[in-house]
């Protein structure tokens, strides 16, 4: 993984930091695993804008990712490591021995030609998927299920990883990327290793137009709005705007919005850091 700082031959490139794409091996996706990806531009079924600051952007095809990793006992060879425009992590095209092809989220250090496999009686090596009951304690994991058979929902973005801390009965204790420590059923699956493209956080877009390419429209700062539009609006000149809060009055910066009566609270051992 590496990043490159470009020479400032244009104003937009003066501060730009781009991905080196050292790990990526091809720029041609597997056609059989592509699907249409229609975007709403923030409009609902009536055509009315319900989410602000969305719209435009480059066309994308969705890559069908195997989050379940349920093809047990069949080894697969990593054919390519690819860029995916729909997520921050890189993805890997794997060829199973029975001829099937699938995309999986690529772990850091996954190499072309490497064999990966899922199941309970496999070695805890990078890229292999197994249940939390069979993963050694202290192992760095990612792509974690929350319910058995659901497919990976936690620790899926670039550079993310969790750590298996303990096991007690039918629950395992996992420390998540947010700092939260929670209990997960030991029958849930996880993949060994951290997610690829860990340098994603170092990238600098360099210009506003790059946000437009990603489908993000210009955002109006609340302080410059009128009082009718936002709680932080109004005032003469450059007034501070009061306490930071959302458009519907919920305070920002540290205010906790999680429901105290949420059913899954009993599985959380330690809340995420403020």
Q: Which whole-number Å values give the CA distances from 239 to 222, 227, 232, 264, in the listed order?
A: 12, 12, 10, 42
- Residue 239: per-residue pLDDT: 82
Buried b or exposed e, range 137-170, using 16+ CB within 10 angstroms: eebbbbbbbeeeeeebebbbebbbbbbbeeeeee
Give the residue ranges of the chain where pLDDT is below 70: 1, 274
Domains and CATH numbers, the chain: 3-200 (2.40.50.140), 223-268 (4.10.950.10)
Q: What is the pLDDT of residues 154-173, one digit of tens each?
A: 999 999 999 999 999 999 99
Average pLDDT taken over every residue of the chain: 95
Which residue, among 40, 37, 51, 55, has the nearest Cα to 215 in the 3D structure? 55
Share above pLDDT 70 across residues of the chain, in percent, rounded to a whole number: 99
The model's pTM is 0.92
Q: What is the pLDDT of residues 162-210, one digit of tens each?
A: 999 999 999 999 999 999 999 999 999 999 999 999 999 999 999 999 9
Which residue, among 123, 182, 115, has the nearest Cα to 155 in the 3D structure? 182
């Amino acid at each position: 993984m590496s990043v490159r700082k470009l020479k400032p031959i244009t104003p937009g490139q003066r501060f730009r930091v781009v991905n080196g794409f050292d790990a990526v091996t091809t720029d041609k996706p597997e056609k059989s695993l592509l699907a249409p990806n229609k975007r709403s531009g923030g409009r609902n079924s009536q055509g009315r804008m319900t989410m602000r600051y969305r719209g435009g952007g480059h066309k994308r095809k969705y890559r069908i990712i195997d989050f379940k990793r349920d093809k047990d006992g069949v080894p697969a060879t990593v054919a390519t490591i690819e860029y995916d425009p729909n997520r921050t992590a890189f993805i890997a095209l794997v060829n199973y021995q029975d001829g099937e092809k699938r995309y999986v989220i690529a772990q850091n250090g996954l190499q072309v030609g490497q064999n990966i496999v899922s199941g309970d009686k496999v070695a805890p090596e990078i890229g292999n998927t197994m249940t939390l009951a069979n993963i050694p304690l202290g192992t760095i994991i990612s792509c974690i299920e929350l319910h058995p058979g659901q497919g990976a929902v936690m620790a899926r973005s670039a550079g993310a990883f969790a750590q298996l801390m303990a096991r007690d009965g039918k629950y395992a204790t996992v420390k998540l990327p947010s700092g939260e420590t929670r209990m997960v059923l030991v029958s849930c699956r996880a993949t060994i290793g951290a997610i690829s493209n860990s340098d994603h956080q170092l990238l600098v877009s360099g210009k506003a137009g790059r946000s437009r390419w990603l489908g993000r429209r210009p955002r109006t700062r609340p302080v410059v709005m009128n009082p009718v539009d936002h709680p932080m609006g109004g005032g003469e000149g450059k007034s501070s705007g009061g306490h930071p809060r959302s458009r519907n009055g919920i305070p920002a910066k540290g205010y906790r919005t999680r429901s105290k009566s949420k059913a899954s609270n009993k599985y959380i051992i330690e809340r995420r850091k403020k």
